[in-house]
Structure 1
Amino acid sequence: MVRIAIVPGDGIGREVIPVAWNIISSLHPEFESFEVEVGYARWQRTGISCTDEDISVMKEADAILFGAVTTPPDSCYSSVILRIRHALDLYANLRPVKGDDFDIMIVRENSEGLYSGIEWREKDRACTVRVVSVEGSRRIARCASHLAKARGCLLTIGNKANVIKSDVLFREICCEEASRAGIPFEACFIDSLALDILQHPKRYGVIVTTNIFGDILSDVAGYLVGGLGMLPSANIGDQHALFEPVHGSAPDIAGQGRANPIAAIRSGAMLLTHLGFKEDAELIEDAIRSVCQSGIRTPDLGGSASTGSFGEAIRSALGC
């Protein structure tokens, strides 16, 4: 029995994740699901955003479908998604950006960097430790090299080694692993890469970079496909996997039925691929393309469809 943990989270996560799950469960009614409540709304109500028990329950799932969580500027509140990533050791964040004539996979180191969680406040400053370890760099470099070899494409190593010494280490290890895998590779400074990916997306295949650079670069690349509402992601570890849209909880439009569920639906398709149902994932992508081409689109894409009605159009296109 395949068991999926459904974690809607906050804001529009509570609107787009049910749409994505309805599509998955229509294709696979044999899947068992259970919901886990975490996030800011729970913290406001109970003073607790995520417990050790929640983490333990998620670890029991074959995969996790995650929405979005709000992280307020409150020193008493810790990021829920960072806690989950660390607890489940989800070290590889895979963020595909695919258009008609380009197919980019941004591989983001997901466990350290500026999101190491080592932070503190002092009287006249706030400090965050940027951690770039040999082990963390090597395993994400191997992951990216494996993907590039499977795709038969160039591996681009995004870095800022001309300024940041820890990026010298990251770049060196990525070059070593790419050489060992026998794949073509290049190292590019992240600022120029952010511009060039918009100007020449077809020249890129797999891009590997550190945590915050990968976060920013994938958001920048969202411009190529219509915005963050289109971008899915996978958080992969050796034992666990979590799938989530790249966008946040968007409290400004939450509850209005205007959220674009495509990123969540595509995250569900990545979940299916991870579980071995690649053909179903391809059917979902075909359905998204067909529905959008028919003129059914959410407001962010220039249409008037609601979150729910767009989901129903996808199910109809799938024959569910």
Structure 2
Amino acid sequence: MQRKNEKFVERLPLIPRRPWHAYFLTTCLCLTALAIRSAAEIILPIGYPFVSFFPAVILSSFLFGVRPGIYAGLLCGLLSWYFFIPPRMGFPFNLGVVLALAFYGAVVAVDIALIHFLQKANFNLAVERERSHALAENRELLFHELQHRVSNNLQVVAAMLSLQRRHVDHDHARRALDDASARLALVGRISRALYNPSGQGQNIRAFLSTLTADVLEASGREDIALTIDAPEDLILKPDTAVPLALIVTEAVNNAIEHGLPHRGGSISVSLNMTDDGISLNVTDDGKGLSADFDPGSNQSLGLRISNALAGQLNGRFSLHPAAKGGATARLDLPVRA
């Protein structure tokens, strides 16, 4: 309803296709004011010849513009002069009448001028609003096109790495190319899905649900149960999305490949708010960490990437045994993330 009212106000003054329609309606308003003034004669004190004519002038100016407003001012002035300034039924002329008409003319002129300038300012505001809306649409279109091209380029690089893998015989090199290709494809998908020109974030529960489901589907495992536990109303900043997604992806892939390589099980992703910030845990019920595992000396690429990305977010990444068996990858972030 409010937007409809704004649209109506932006259209003022109303300009009929035939200008005489505006003058006809203005005349009707003036005659209505005359009828109201005549009907109120018995309750009004002596004087007040213009009391019902000011609204007619204001409405005419507001609805139809300056010229019908001036016409209404002249017509209402003549009607009040003829019918309600004594001696009535004539056009008396003396100093008192001149002062009364001068006062009436000054008030009407101020009303018409104010309405005219307000409507002009309102029209300029409406034009600027439409221009800003068009610029915003163009910006959003260009931004999405840019994101689309960047994502496509990342997907192309990922595909080139996959093709290059076919010409590599060394198992470790093939695995490194597979990992790099998968990470690039993931960054491309996240960039296309998350970033928008308004800078708004995304609900972190929905983000984690979609991300982990994609990782599990890409692994081809159907014997692993995946659960997500995160607040409903927590918003993830766009610049945090890609590093967080890569860390979660590394943790889930690590749980699938090392914790549950030959049997089914469950992986739980939980996010909790603490006094110090945010704690994200990826826990599996697999075989757990080896007895001689030392996170300080472990030089695996996935762990190094996770530590580097956590540092980029001013957070801390750790990997330790879970309370009921298996392993837990933990990411601690400051609350501003």
* Structure with the greater alpha carbon radius of gyration: 2
Q: TM-score, normalised by structure 1?
A: 0.22
Greater helix proportion: 2
Which protein, 1 or 2, shows the higher relative CO under an 8 Å CA cutoff with sep ≥ 6? Answer: 1
Q: TM-score, normalised by structure 2?
A: 0.21
Greater strand proportion: 1
